[in-house]
Amino acid sequence: MTIRSIIAAVAGVILIAAIALGARSLIVAAPESPVASSRAMPTIGGPFSLTDHDGRAVTDADFHGRYMLVYFGYTYCPDVCPTSLQVMTDALDLLGAKADAVTPVLITIDPERDTAELLRDYVANFHPRTVGLTGTPEQIAAVAKAYRVYYAKAEQEGTYLMDHSSIVYLMGKDGKFLTHFSHNTPADKMAEGIRRHL
Ligand code: NI
């Protein structure tokens, strides 16, 4: 055995050990790789183009810098929508001046009947800052999809009601989803939930 072959053999052993160590560290590291975090959270909300209750074209960007308390409903709704809008009103009243940066928003899911004028008269029954939004059926379908809101016509003796999900969303100043309130959330609990994010 020459000196050179001994050096080569030693180098070979070191190389094999290094590969083995490297492989071991890879194996050890494997369970720590962020497999779970690659599962994306479902997004709620996003860009929209609609018409406000004064007939002006608006987008989500017009609300940036303010919080939005968003509800999807319609003015012909016999009970669910007025109840929810009243709870939103009461929650904001409970927060007083703290809620000055919160704009309550009603987005109609009945754009065929809910004109800007009708919405303007309707939202006047609730919190004075409430903004009613309508749009084309396509615009409404797009915003409802973005907020994962279900709605469907329910024909009834020559007229119709709208089946729809009843959820109140709190969106941040950047338009991003903060939290939501399920139907039947009392006003004080909603106020508490909003306050946490202001
Ligand atoms: Ni309703």
Domain boundaries, the chain: 3-34, 49-195
Handedness of CA 68, 69, 73, 74 (dihedral sign): negative
CA of 161 to the centre of ligand 1 (A): 8
The residue count of the chain comes to 198
Q: What's the 3-state SS for 65-81?
A: CCEEEEEEECCCCCCHH
In angstroms, what is the span from residue 80 Cα to ligand 1's centroid?
A: 4
Dump strand ranges (E) for the chain. Answer: 49-52, 57-59, 67-73, 102-108, 131-134, 151-156, 159-164, 168-171, 177-181
Q: In this structure, are strands 49-52 and 57-59 parallel, antiparallel, or unpaired?
A: antiparallel
Contact yes or no for 104/114 (Cβ under 8 A): no
d(CA 142, ligand 1 centre) in Å: 19
Ligand 1 mean position, distance from CA 4 (Å): 87
CATH superfamily of 49-195: Glutaredoxin (3.40.30.10)
Ligand 1 centroid vs 109 CA: distance in angstroms?
Answer: 9
Q: How far is the CA of 22 from the centre of ligand 1 (A)?
A: 62
CA of 49 to the centre of ligand 1 (A): 22
CA 87 to ligand 1 center in whole angstroms: 13
Question: Tell me, what's the pLDDT at 34?
Answer: 42
The pLDDT tens digits of the residues spanning 110-159 come to 999 999 999 999 999 999 999 999 999 999 999 999 999 999 999 988 99
Neighbouring-strand partners of residue 104: 69
* Secondary element (H or E) of residue 89: helix 80-95
Q: Is 18 exposed, middle or buried (0-12, 13-18, 19+ CB in 10 A)?
A: exposed
For residue 86, the CA-to-ligand 1 centroid distance in Å is 12
174 SS3 class = coil
Q: What is the 8-class DSSP label of residue 129?
A: T
In this structure, the number of other CB atoms found within 10 A of the CB of residue 86 comes to 14
Under 8 Å between Cβ of 95 and 195 = yes
CA of 118 relative to ligand 1 center, distance in Å: 15
Distances (CA, A) of 1 to 8, 9, 144: 11, 10, 80
Instruction: Please give the chain's pLDDT, 198 residues, in tens.
Output: 555 555 555 555 555 454 444 444 444 444 444 444 445 557 999 999 999 999 999 999 999 999 999 999 999 999 999 999 999 999 999 999 999 999 999 999 999 999 999 999 999 999 999 999 999 999 999 999 999 999 999 998 899 999 999 999 999 999 999 999 999 999 999 999 999 999
CA of 95 to the centre of ligand 1 (A): 25
Q: Ligand 1 centroid to 101 CA: how many Å?
A: 26
Could you tell me the CA-to-CA distances from 91 to 85, 150, 157 in Å, in that order?
10, 24, 37
pTM: 0.79
- The CA-based diameter of the chain, rounded to the nearest angstrom, is 103
